[in-house]
Amino acid sequence: MQDKNTYKFTLKTIAIPLYTVLFLWIILWADFRFNLHLRRFGIFPRTLLGLRGIICEPFIHKDMAHLANNSLPLLVLMMALLYFYRPIALKVIWQGLLFSGVLTWLIARPAYHIGASGVIYFLVSFVFFSGIFSRNYRLIAVSLVVVFIYGSLLWYLFPIDAEISWEGHLSGFVVGIFLAYRYKKVLPKPDTYDWEEDTYQKDDFDKLFDDDGNFSPPQKEGEL
């Protein structure tokens, strides 16, 4: 088998997600310890000051329960992104943060929108649809695992709880599809196998027959 896809586990594969989650917990601790009231730095839709939330929103959480619910999915999905999509992982992360934040700012209710759940939704969406677009069996398997583990997240794309920013979830999900489609040409290609390659060469006997199997010996020079 010729595997043209390179999946390489490096220290960064786990270090970046771990440090990211740890950083979020440090911010939450500092927020409560020093009464920083960071919630005001979240996205407040359609206001000039609320634009700062596009960058700040993913790093701010309401309380420990809020961050605890986001920590494990964020850790797992970032590791999957860095392992399977390493060449474009960082691009996907910063573009996902930016585009989902802007979309939330445009469509959300007038309230402060905070938390990394929008990031989780664009990672879920990107990993799932990238697997489908790539037609790579390994990535499709990852997509199915994502659906199995995080399929229940789909319920929170709709306004079923006034305390939850479903607009941020929806924005992240839509942006994940967009990025998966945008980068589909650079996604890992399906594996190829030796038996799939056309390595057959005609020998002297085969050359006595045409493509339809009819006997057709080569003509000598000067013969019609």
Domain count, the chain: 1
CB distance 216 to 166 below 8 Å: no
Burial class (CB in 10 A: 0-12, 13-18, 19+), 1: exposed
The reply to whether 210 falls in a domain is: no
Q: Which domain holds residue 175?
A: 11-190
Query: Among residues 178, 186, 194, which one has the least CA distance to residue 139?
Result: 186
The reply to whether 32 falls in a domain is: yes
The reply to whether 58 falls in a domain is: yes
CATH code: domain of residue 105? 1.20.1540.10
190: three-class secondary structure by DSSP? coil
Q: pLDDT digits over 69-103, tens only?
A: 999 999 999 999 999 999 999 999 999 999 999 99
The reply to whether 92 falls in a domain is: yes
The reply to whether 206 falls in a domain is: no
The reply to whether 224 falls in a domain is: no
Please count the CA atoms within 13 angstroms of the CA of 181 that sit on its side-chain side. 6
pLDDT along the chain (224 residues), means of 10: 56 94 98 96 97 96 95 93 93 96 97 95 94 84 83 88 92 97 81 48 53 58 50
The reply to whether 222 falls in a domain is: no
Single pTM value for the model: 0.80
